[in-house]
Structure 1
Amino acid sequence: MSFEPGQVITRRYRRAARYTWVQPMRVISDDETGLLLWHPAGSDFARLIDADGNTQHELPVDQMRDPKLVVRAWQDYDILVLMPPGASHSVWWFFRNGEFDSWYVNLEDPYVRMPDGVDTADLVLDIVVDPQRRWEWKDVEEFDLRIGNPLYFDADQAADIRAEGERVVKLIEAGDFPFDGTHTGFRPEPGWPELRLPKA
């Protein structure tokens, strides 16, 4: 099952039986390099927020009080997201005012195709990469705090997650695909609208 260019699908993160992040995205391509998706600023996304205003960054899901998906507008950046097949990460290109700004590596489970989109699980640890390919880890403290939580990962799994990040770092430092300038000049089709989540 492949998706067609121009099709709008939903990209979702799961944690146990709960969705924690839901984002409509436009398919750019779906081929051997991966599923390439577009999400412009101003579009909808939904994230899990609890009754006290906490997100998953503040608390693990099992400690959130009455969490619900809350729809927000994506701000500041247009994003292009590549989900390589079978990989435990995605690569994001951030664009500000139409110009490439930076890369972002989101460590996550290999995605599973669904009829209306893809499901994955966020693995907390991330990598931020500037246009000169200088990089740094992101959310390290949060990642360390989640180790041992049964809804997240144990110490061995955490080591595998970090090792996946280190494999991507080698690509970054070598300037290999997808950090070789590919897609940095991407421009959306004129007239593509902001993307909306279906009303509940």
Structure 2
Amino acid sequence: MTGVWQETDLLLWKPPEAWFSINAFYVPDGDGRRLRNWYVNFEHPTRRTEAGFDTFDLTVDLLIDPDLTRWEWKDEDEYAHVRRLGIVSDAEHQAVDAARAQVFGMLADRSGPFAAGNRWAVWRWEPTWPAPRLP
């Protein structure tokens, strides 16, 4: 079974060594799109494989309002459960804690993708851009 991404456009910022990605989700708005929210996904650093790229979702996420003024945790109960089961190790948990601090530092300093938060809020995909292809 294959799936097709629907409803939102996604702009993803993922430094290769980071234990998180920062995603901007856009939704239809009249004749254009608007930023619905920022979404921080805590995950393993990305690694290259023969098939492309791989990571591992660590279940806990952070939802941030488009204007960066409010945020809320998502799936903390699920994260606690995978910790109890040992799916997320103590070392991974420490990496997630460090990543949380890094993200909150970027939010407070308005750095990383948040430095240009207002510009990203009005960013538009250029329809003439070709779809990316992996070699």
TM-score by length of 1: 0.55
For residues 73-126 of structure 1, what are the alpha-carbon distances to aligned partners after superposition, in whole Å with 9 as ceiling and x for unaligned?
323211111111211111101111122221100111110123442101111111
Conservation of the 8 A alpha-carbon contact between 1:81 and 1:91: yes
Equivalent AA in structure 2 for residue 164 of structure 1? A
Does the aligned pair in 2 maintain the 1:126–1:138 contact within 8 Å?
yes
2:111 maps to 1:111: no
* Contiguous gaps of at least 5 residues in structure 2: none
Describe the shift of the 1:167–1:90 C-alpha distance in structure 2 as closer, same or farther (beyond 3 A). Answer: same
**Alpha-carbon shift at residue 137 of structure 1 (Å):** 1.2
Which amino acid is 2:98 matched to? A
Note the aligned Cα RMSD (angstroms).
Answer: 2.3
**Paired position in structure 1 for 2:24:** 93
1:139 maps to what in 2?
75
> What pairs up with 1:60-75 in 2 under 5 angstroms?
70-75=1-6
Structure 2 SS opposite 1:183: helix
The equivalent of 1:188 in structure 2 is 125
Alignment of 1:112-131 (within 5 A): 112-131=47-66
Alignment partner, residue 93 of structure 2: 158
- 1 or 2, which has the higher helix percentage? 2
Q: In proportion to residue count, which structure has more strand?
A: 1
Say which SS state the counterpart of residue 113 (structure 2) adopts: coil
Identity between Structure 1 and Structure 2 (%): 33
The 4+ residue runs of structure 1 with deviation greater than 6 A are: none
| Distance in 2 (alpha carbons) for counterparts of 1:110 and 1:76 | 27
In the superposition, the TM-score normalised over structure 2's length comes to 0.78
1:55 aligns with none
Secondary structure class of the residue paired with 1:106 = strand
Mapped contact 1:148–1:154 kept (Cα < 8 A): no
Separation in 2 of the partners of 1:139 and 1:167? 19
Take 2:93 and 2:48, find their aligned partners in 1: how far apart are those partners? 24
Deviation at 1:154, TM superposition (A): 2.5
